[in-house]
Amino acid sequence: MSEKCFNLKIGGAFFEISPHETILQCAYRNGLKIEYQCASGYCGRCKMRLIEGRVRLEHAGGISRRNIAKGFILTCCTFPKSDVEI
């Protein structure tokens, strides 16, 4: 059985992303450099705004509730649950 993948839109570019892949991993796999440091949800360096879509954010304290409420995510620990645009 094949896994259902989603579409990830970053800027004007579209990529196919697995529900088990982070947005940061997908970007690098496709040659797109997003700024990051810890890649573990601690530092907050990879923070970007979620424009559209549903995601699962598994951070380790690198983003405040306030920023999450404003629509920000940490790309290193965010997995898609639908088509996503950032």
Q: How far is 80 from 6, CA to CA, in rounded Å? A: 7
Q: What tokens does 7 get?
A: 């579409």
Residue ranges in 18-47 that form contacts with ligand FES under rule CB under 6 A: 36-39, 41-46
> Least distance to ligand FES from the beta carbon of 85, Å?
19
Which residue's CB is nearer to ligand FES, number 4 or number 65?
65
Contact 19, 79 (CB under 8 A): yes
| DSSP H or E run through 14 | strand 13-17
Q: Please identify, using beta-carbon distances, which residue of 1 and 69 lies nearer to ligand FES.
A: 69
Q: Contact positions toward ligand FES, by CB under 6 A?
A: 36-39, 41-46, 62, 74, 76
